[in-house]
Amino acid sequence: EDQEEAVLRELRLFLRNVTERLTLDRRFKAFTKPVDIEEVPDYLMVIKKPMDLSTLLTNIDEHKYVTVGEFMSDTDLIWQNALEYNPDSDPMDRHIRHRACALKDTVRAIIKDELDEDFERVCEEIKESR
Ligand SMILES: COC(=O)N1C[C@@H]2C[C@@H]3O[C@]2(Cc2nccnc23)C1
């Protein structure tokens, strides 16, 4: 009902704010847009579920996320994919893996600092009721 829509609206505002802050962080430039399949033709043979920060924003606007947990699953794809596709010891791979780990730690720190446990519990209740 209307109270539920108010909660989900607040969730979307929070998730947009987090995603925009990540997009503005220069460390995460490689994660802001989908990997260019023309530049990297084998990417989709290796990575089955591509994800990036611009797609997160689209998902938020399409009301894909009812809980922060669902959002976190997609942010996890971003850094997990980068670790999987860039495993080598060469400096380029090490560099993007370092940034992937920074993305993982940054998202978790923001959620731990800024997400109210009671708010996430209300979102989980709405999810279970649907
Ligand atoms: C999240 O970003 C990535 O996982 N990647 C992997 C690709 C390999 C390398 O870097 C990427 C783009 C690219 N384009 C042209 C030539 N080589 C590259 C970005």
Ligand 1 pocket test target in 39, 51, 95 with most atoms within 8 Å of CB: 39
- Between CA 19 and CA 114 the distance in angstroms is 13
In this prediction, the answer to ipTM > 0.90 reads yes
Name the pLDDT band for 16 (thresholds 50, 70, 90). Answer: very high
Residue of minimum CA distance from atom 3 in ligand 1: 82
Q: Is the pLDDT of residue 1 over 80?
A: no
What radius of gyration, in Å, describes the C-alpha atoms of the chain?
16
Q: Residues of 11-35 as b/e, b for ≥16 C-beta within 10 angstroms? A: beebbeebbeebbebeebebbeeeb
pTM above 0.90, yes or no: yes
8 Å CB contact between 16 and 24? no
> Does residue 90's CB lie within 6 angstroms of at least one atom of ligand 1?
no
* 30-72: pLDDT as tens digits: 999 999 999 999 999 999 999 999 999 999 999 999 999 999 9
Ligand 1 pocket test target in 29, 35, 88, 93 with most atoms within 8 Å of CB: 35
8 Å CB contact between 52 and 28? no
Nearest to 115 by CA among 59, 53, 71, 52: 71
